[in-house]
Amino acid sequence: MGRSLIRTDAEGIAIDAVKLSEQGDGLIVRLHEYLGGRSEVTLTSDYPVYSWQVCDMMERPLLEAVDGPEIRHLFKPYEINTFLVKFSCN
């Protein structure tokens, strides 16, 4: 069984994009809710994550970074969310 770069625990959440951040200091992960409901989602990775940060579509931080292997986030109906994910080097 393979490893997952990004994993969600909720139905109705699609991962739309994974790319290197413009600053080159992490990955940008863009997701959206597609069932028209609210979902509290836990995002995790099979790789060691140092921090998660909610950003806007231009990769500007909206909230303080959350340290640790996962983040919980509330998705509103049809909402798009962007996260800067930084991985540990060890």
Q: What's the pLDDT tens digit per position in 3-30?
A: 999 999 999 999 999 999 998 889 999 9
Average pLDDT, integer, range 78-90: 92
Fold of 7-87: Immunoglobulin-like (2.60.40)
Could you give the percent of the chain with pLDDT greater than 70?
A: 99
Q: How much of the chain, in percent, has pLDDT values that exceed 90?
A: 91
Q: How far apart are CA 79 and CA 8, in angstroms?
A: 15
pLDDT at 89: 78
Identify the pLDDT of residue 2.
86
Mean pLDDT of 43-61: 96
Expressed in percent and rounded to 5, the helix, strand and coil fractions of the chain are 0, 50, 50
